Structure 1
């Protein structure tokens, strides 16, 4: 059993090394790409982009997988099992800083975070003083955004408010519904799901948009560059025309999802266990805008740099260098 596992690990290591050494190896020879996305709006965007007739003609039928957590994505993208994926921007930066040959193509999700609170006004973060707040994924984006903004507000965790962490947003929702915490920090689409569940239980909740709080407390735009699209560098080098077409298809998909939330909700429900109503509500509460990596770089560096002050490991060290960003071409801007 041990020998079998060792052989398998050696085979995976050899395959990864071979893929890294020979650009283009591992791309689907008969056309098509292996793509991936997490549950949520990035998945809906990629699913819509794959319906683009021009992309289908150029690339062929492509596979869209769902990844559960960054560790699974890291294994897929590092081993060449997928060539392109939607991902949170910090995960993309972390992969790049750890030596995985990825390129950021675009940023298209600009804010999904909010706070739900039981039965109290919630006009600003200051009103969390004295409250017990639940936060998913300690050390990840929801946690770091909250703690960064609390510091700006002059609130200290442990002194002014209490935070407990849950392993996932779904666990945070269950803790909130059971009223074991006063407030919950949640990303979309779980945020919308929680709102619908509280309404069905007859609970009164207040809601605070953290993108608006970011703008109020930092003076920046109410937009957080949270998620986008990356590809393995060998895809860009072997098929730059595919990447250009993907950029256009994603740009048009983002515009369609934002303009057609009900239809987009139905599309999303075909690719995930989330109900169409939840996906539709998440779209209505999320800023969706396609910007190429080059166009988004300044805001992305400001955002990731601010959060990395709290935890450098969040992005795998320092800010990625210019090799991380796709250079705009005529089609890249969408």
Structure 2
């Protein structure tokens, strides 16, 4: 049964790689001090076990979903350990097995994990809103209607970028299969290289690739913000990332988890106000390659700390769109009310 769960979750994780940028190696911010020479072996073992039981083990993906965590990570706070990963499919089995307690992951992966674990996973907050933008090397596109007859270079075939694009086009009266030509590439870097090579003039890309593209192509501009276009037709915010958490980790010490969330909220506020300091930390922890890129991208990455009813409303609308496009994208069913952490 466990192997089936891991197989299903791994498949889902491959569909949510939008939020992961860069390398696939992992590293931990935790530093362990050696046991005192005066301590006995039994005392050291007991202390280690107690620390493990009290420590909240948090994972993050390299990319926008973890940018809001870096200021909390940098303080090396007592009671938490942070580990960075390059891909969602590295995190999923660790959450399923209980080797991680919480992780900043794409929203639909959290929903999939909830289904595959029988409700053992919940979502504590939205940490990143939409990061998708329509770019144009020209000036002809100023509305969704202007995309009719155009070719759009993008990534994410069969995943959330495709579902978002098709939904927005359809709600604006365009048929994604006949009114536009959508060319999909396996990675955002490939779509960007095609745009640079002149294979097309319009692309839908995520941050921070948008910032990279704008810095490399002088005539390129942001034509449409998909967050704004989503809100016009869906009446709610477009979501990218969330903090998924094991319910048993919360139930073990709800006060400590509430304290962690407060620290997370403060960290997000710092990410939106101290761009230079946060960008430096993003480079330090390998979340974004260079601080200069991170500093330019941060204001456009829509880093938030959204909880409670607002979180639930935005996620329910988002999940409904994904479910209508492909039920497997959210684990085969819409999450029940117990998926949403109430505090």
Pairwise TM-score range, normalised by the shorter structure = 0.7 to 0.9
Aligned to 2:282: 268
Task: Give the Cα–Cα distance (whole angstroms) in 1 for the partners of residues 324 and 73 of structure 2.
Answer: 37
Task: Give the Cα–Cα distance (whole angstroms) in 1 for the partners of residues 202 and 177 of structure 2.
Answer: 15
1:125 is the counterpart of 2:115 = no
Task: Give the Cα–Cα distance (whole angstroms) in 1 for the partners of residues 51 and 332 of structure 2.
Answer: 33
Superimposed CA distance per residue, residues 223-263 of structure 1 (whole angstroms, 9 cap, x where no aligned partner): 31221211122211222222111110111111110112222
Aligned to 1:177: 196
- 8 A contact 2:283–2:289 mirrored in 1: yes
Partner of 1:150: helix, strand, or coil? helix
**1:295–1:28 Cα change, 3 Å:** farther
Q: What's the offset of the Cα at 1:206?
A: 4.3
Q: What's the offset of the Cα at 1:181?
A: 2.6
Task: Give the Cα–Cα distance (whole angstroms) in 2 for the partners of residues 238 and 176 of structure 1.
Answer: 50
Q: What's the offset of the Cα at 1:73?
A: 2.2
Aligned to 1:163: 182
Partner of 2:69: helix, strand, or coil? helix
Q: What's the offset of the Cα at 1:27?
A: 9.1
Structure 2 counterparts to residues 1-334 of structure 1, below 5 A: 29=52, 31-52=54-75, 56-57=77-78, 59=79, 62-68=81-87, 70-99=88-117, 101-199=120-218, 203-218=219-234, 220-221=235-236, 223-272=237-286, 273-328=288-343
Q: What's the offset of the Cα at 1:216?
A: 2.7
- 8 A contact 1:67–1:73 mirrored in 2: no
Superimposed CA distance per residue, residues 34-90 of structure 1 (whole angstroms, 9 cap, x where no aligned partner): 32112223222222223457xx23x15x1322231x322212211233221101111
Partner of 2:182: helix, strand, or coil? strand
Superimposed CA distance per residue, residues 288-309 of structure 1 (whole angstroms, 9 cap, x where no aligned partner): 3212244410121012112321
- Give TM-score scaled by structure 1 length: 0.81
Report the aligned-residue RMSD. 2.5
Partner of 1:309: helix, strand, or coil? helix
Number of residue pairs matched by the alignment: 297
Superimposed CA distance per residue, residues 259-314 of structure 1 (whole angstroms, 9 cap, x where no aligned partner): 12222111111112521122222221133321224441012101211232111111
Q: What's the offset of the Cα at 1:315?
A: 0.5
- 8 A contact 2:134–2:203 mirrored in 1: yes
Q: Could you list the runs of 5+ residues in structure 2 that have no partner in the other structure?
A: 8-48
**1:27–1:77 Cα change, 3 Å:** farther
Task: Give the Cα–Cα distance (whole angstroms) in 1 for the partners of residues 191 and 221 of structure 2.
Answer: 15
Question: Which deviates the most, 141-150 or 272-281?
Answer: 272-281
